[in-house]
Amino acid sequence: MVLRSGQYATEAYSFVTPKSSLAQQQQQLKQQQISSQTTTSSYWGIPPPLSPSSSSSSAVPSSIRTSNLFMKDEETSSGSAKKSKVKEPFSLSSLFGKSSSPASTTTTTKKPEKKKNGKKIESHPSQRKHISPLNLLGPDNTLQNNHNPESALPFHPSVKSGTLPNGLSYIILPNKSPANRFEAHLQVFSGSADELEPQQGIAHLTEHVAYMGSRKRERLFGTGSQTNAYTDFHHTVFYAACPTEMPNSGNGNNKKKATPMLPMALDALVDVMEARVESSRLEKERQAVLSEMTMVNTIEYRVECQILGTLHRENRLAKRFPIGKEVLIRSWTTDDVKTWHRTHYRPDNVLLYVVGDLDVSEVEKTIADTFGHLSAEKQGSEIRLKDLKPLASDLADAIVGKEDIVKSGQSWHYPPVRHDFCLSPEGDDENDTEQIKSQGLEIINKKRIPNDFEDDIIKKVKDYDLHLQEDYDLDDKVQFLKMDEVAKGKKIRPHIYRHELLQAFSLHLFAKRPVEPVVDMDSFRRSLARRIALAALQIRLNVGGRSDDPAFTFVEFNQLDSSREGCAVCSLDLTSEPIRWKEAICKSLSEIRKLGKYGVTAGEMERYASALMTDAEQLAAQGDRLSHGDQLSYLMETVANGHTFMSPMQSYQITAKALSTLTLQEVNDAAKQLCSHITSVNSDECASNGPIIATACSPKGFDEDDEEYVDEASLIQTIYEACQIPVEPEEDVVVPHTLIDDNELKEQMEERKPHWLGGSFSDGTPNTSPDKLTRPFTLRRLSNGIAVGISKNTGESQRGHLRLTAPGGRDAEKRLGFKSGSMAVGARCMQEGGAFGPWTREQVELFCVDHLLMVEINCNEESLMLDFVFPTTNVGNVGFGDDMQLGITGTEAVMQIVREIIVGFHWEEDALGRSKQSYRSAHETLQKNLEGRSTEMIMESITNKDDRFLSIDVETVNAVTLEDAKSAVMSQLIPSELEISVAGDFDVQEVLDMILKYIGTIPENANSKYRKTTSGEEEGVITPNTFGSVPNLPLPGKFLELELTDSDPRAVSYVAGAAPNQWGYLADGTTVSQRVMEADTKASDYDNRRRQHPLFGNVVLSLISEIANRRLFSTVRERKQLTYDANFSLTGFERLKGGWFLVTVTASKEKAQKALDACKETLEAMRKSNPISLDNLESAKRVVLNRHEGELRTSSYWAAIMTGIQQDSIPLKGPLSLTDYSAVVEAITTTDLQLALDCLGLDEDELYTAIGQTVQPEGYVPSEDEIVMASPMAGMKRGGALMNK
């Protein structure tokens, strides 16, 4: 039951509207697969990984191939332009098909060269006449597009754009969600790919210095604002997300006007354009970057570097990772940083985006007032290192003068690179012109009409090594990687990466293609066809490809447009056990070839076209309620790739029009092109025009005679042989439109006569009526005992979230005497399965696909939780327009699934096998993960090896039988102990009626045969909700050390101790509220009353966490310069009493002990020498409240809030948890927090501290496997420290 979320809704070509919630779930899923999360949303039948996939499986999904490579430096913080006459005006409005006022859209194109101080100031490449500063869609007469104007896609009607006289361009999009907030992003069109040889890493360091050195940014602290910055290959971005008005600045009684925040936010952004580059700030950020190098250098990161280095071997990206070279970073002075800054941070080389609940005219005026004084000439005059100026000029000339450079040839947003594209075989399509269009070549292949200026540049740069083909002093030792030709014209570029920390085999197989701008109906139809074909293939791989004993543990095929790489990348990413790597390759490539050769079936066409239509409809319903962040990220990527940015409603209308006439042949043509690089390897097919790129990652330690061993030759041979396997057309599977017969339900309703009972609570809230709707949620209980909470949430249009909770989890596993690990393995087995009633697993999975249902099943220490994301409209529809036949709603479909899980689930041995394999892989991966093993070591010590809180080892997993798993999980699915929380954009009464029909008819004695009593109980007396406490912390605390073998030096330090649970309960049963009141003997009656509020402990702990994190940042990073970041977190149990806090800090091995000591010092100072201040408290309040208000827009948050409200196992949680939240936060005082700190085990003898560090094997000498491979036709892989996040 694990279909990964929304494959059909997330392919790279969804550029016409921001991604839907389903698509966002998919992106989150992919991120989790590479960033150490343990569970993921999915459709039933396609298992999400349990562990860090890159360690265990080295899976790097294509959509995030570079997500961990760009440098993200995050911090939560709480003059009028003079008009000038210019030639050939250019405005961003041309991107969106409308004109802006001349005053706001005039741009400065190439000006006559000026002299200052006797020296010529050359124009920036972005201002040269041949190209607009943004992309080819500008009115450049020498480069006109050939798209059909009659079928042009409509532009978003609310977008406003323009260019100031100094060349600074901007885009404004008014957006209502969230209300009274906005985001401003400043994009500098220079990144690590623009660095010279002696500047490797300086783009990222400059970002640090400009961002962290901004005094104006600091003014945003305590205002509920968040600021951030990051550096990538192609750009550097700074942003501020703020409220529209300064909190508490307005005064209703005195009619004082609130202070607008936009000028403050833009002041912070203009401040980075005028960075002072002080030596003190440079030293702080130098240390932060060096620490960041260590922090990001995980095995996942190293795998990504290997993949990217092979994928982009022919261009600069293979040598210009953003983190740069350690030796250079240590050497740079303020002059080096200022030279880079003044060269690239110019008004004519940036683009400002503003999205939010703002008045457009006011935004335009503020932009002009704030940025209008900037001058490219002034910036150029302050370049300190004059000897770098001609080098920078040579690079700029090469970017605009060489052929096939995507930055100058297609979009100024792209990095300055060329690509070895892999295109469909020549002459393979009937219409070569359409083929060229569909592969995005019409712009890149277009011949420029050079003027004299460009002629001079072309001659000058003829021999310039723009692509870094030559060997340079800072490059690592390399061996040349050959390009293998498996048959005439059929080329594969292979690379093998072996490492002792890898646990599984993974393959990453790519074909690079040009980005096709989607600007008219023809290109839009091709994009839809690609999405349908990709969805069909992914579901085949995940559903049909999952046999009783599947060859791969993860597989994904996709094609994504990547502005950071300047191309579209078609990718296959798979993982498997090392011994089955050949089988996994053969199975996956056969499925791809089947799609390429035979296309999709009529049923698949209908299924995924309907899904696309539903997705577009949901987005249209959401309108401008899509969040500012989602809108802005989508807008930036859309503009960068030259796609047309449409409103959700425009997108819906165009999608409906296109899908109504889209043919099966068009989809199959798209499938043929997508798979052409694989199908062309077959001996009967023509060769593709360009190479396939293949990187395989494998554990070390296998001999050449072992089946697990893989090298370049065997990899190429296996790929070739896999492409010779005969394939047959796919057959359609009969998919039910409904899982439960309506007549059967009617009989159940008549027999059981389900009805509603009132809700009851333990936080002091009066009981609720069984027949009245209440706000903000309706809370009741069914007559069979199942508690129900329901809330209407319009923040996510036409979408809903349902959570089914069974208290117990691994605590019940131990308390009720089940075999260790059986509850967790059983929950995963349920996720891996999915058959029930008369339906097979595959039919149920496709039912979930048709109805856009996503399922996630988790077992944690305290509960079994089943989460469902679903559309609230009719889905599984057939046809379009007047001929459409409506299916059932997604809400009804999810009710059917929930019912069948409780009463009709089929437990299968093959699902258990997949579950156990996931847990084995997760545990084995943990043993090779520095952070994972270190944390496990601490937990073993503070819990006395209580297995409820530890990973499940291989021996334990292997001992679990199907009956063990089934008995453990089903013992939790007792109606009287279950709770359903559902929130979404629906009619509450209609959903209550559905719940009554589908869930209310479940027998109250369902699964009673699995009930189990605790030892000492009377027969038949069941108390599964009786939770105890976490184990008592063994005292005194101790210092722990761990060493992990790894070729690269890394270290991580920890400070841990006892803490209350999420609701303020300590392990001894007392509460934060009780202890604070006992300590404050002089408290007023008012203070005692508010401290008795059920939310008091929860809120106090949230505020302490925020303040602790801010203090750690200020002390450990800023003042002591020991780390890039330090983090304070709480375990957050709800049912178990007590818990722990954990401070984590990554540092170099040399500084690990000092960083640990600094963390202890910071925590101690909060208690004594530097107590919490009012400013600390007010800033934390803004952060906590803004986070709460933002999350209230999501149905998943509402479901989480309602979970446990009607369960006695969380006595302090009730309706007041939501209704009084803001008031309780605002009432908290510094005295509350100071006294509450004593509830944490912060005394020296109570602390557990640890340092985990890597050690090189004795006698370690780098093997040939660790020598980076490079192609003689491409740039060498750069050495030194890795790039950062």
Residue 553: name the closest of 45, 48, 27, 32 by CA: 48
Cα-Cα-Cα-Cα dihedral of 1185, 1191, 1193, 1197, to 10°?
Answer: -130
Given the residues 75, 197, 285, 900, the one annotated as active site? 285
Query: Does the annotation count 382 as an active-site position?
Result: no
Q: Please, how many CA atoms are within 13 Å of residue 661, restricted to the half-sphere of its CB?
A: 7
The residues, any chain, with a CB within 8 Å of residue 281's CB and separated by 6 or more, are 209, 212, 213
Residue that the structure tokens 């002009």 belong to? 368
Residue 182: its H or E element:
strand 181-188
Residue 829 buriedness (CB in 10 A; 0-12 / 13-18 / 19+): buried
Q: Please, how many CA atoms are within 13 Å of residue 719, restricted to the half-sphere of its CB?
A: 30
Cis bond leading into 1034, ω under 30°? no
> How many CB atoms within 10 Å of residue 745?
15
Ranges assigned E (strand) in 500-651: 505-513, 554-562, 567-576
The residues, any chain, with a CB within 8 Å of residue 977's CB and separated by 6 or more, are 785, 806, 807, 808, 1024, 1025
Put residue 749 in one of left, alpha, beta given phi > 0 → left and psi -120 to 50 → alpha: alpha
How many angstroms separate the CA atoms of 990 and 42, rounded?
26
Tell me, rounded to whole angstroms, the distance of Cα 670 from its chain centroid. Answer: 28
Helix (H, G, I), strand (E, B) or coil at 972: coil
Tell whether the torsion through CA atoms of 25, 29, 32 and 34 is positive or negative.
Answer: negative
The 8 Å CB, 24+ separation contacts for 1216-1220 are: 1216/763, 1216/764, 1216/765, 1216/1093, 1216/1094, 1216/1095, 1217/763, 1217/1094, 1217/1095, 1217/1098, 1218/776, 1218/777, 1219/776, 1220/1093, 1220/1095
How many angstroms separate the CA atoms of 365 and 116, rounded?
30
Which structure tokens are listed for 1072?
A: 């934060």
The terminus-to-terminus CA distance of the chain in angstroms comes to: 34
Helix (H, G, I), strand (E, B) or coil at 520: strand
CA angle at 439 for the pair 434 and 444, rounded to the nearest 5°: 105
Residue that the structure tokens 């409780």 belong to? 902
Query: Does the annotation count 856 as an active-site position?
Result: no
How many angstroms separate the CA atoms of 516 and 644, rounded?
11
Helix (H, G, I), strand (E, B) or coil at 856: strand
Residue 124 main-chain phi, psi, to 5 deg: -70, 145
367 and 430 Cβ atoms separated by less than 8 Å: no
Given the residues 195, 197, 207, 666, the one annotated as active site? 207
Tell whether the torsion through CA atoms of 444, 445, 446 and 450 is positive or negative.
Answer: positive
34 and 255 Cβ atoms separated by less than 8 Å: no
Give the neighbor-by-neighbor strand order of the sheet with 799-807: 756-758, 778-782, 787-792, 979-984, 799-807, 863-871, 854-859
DSSP 8-state class, residue 484: E
Residue that the structure tokens 């949430």 belong to? 793
How many angstroms separate the CA atoms of 542 and 749, rounded?
37
How many angstroms separate the CA atoms of 1062 and 1213, rounded?
10
Residue numbers annotated as active site: 207, 285
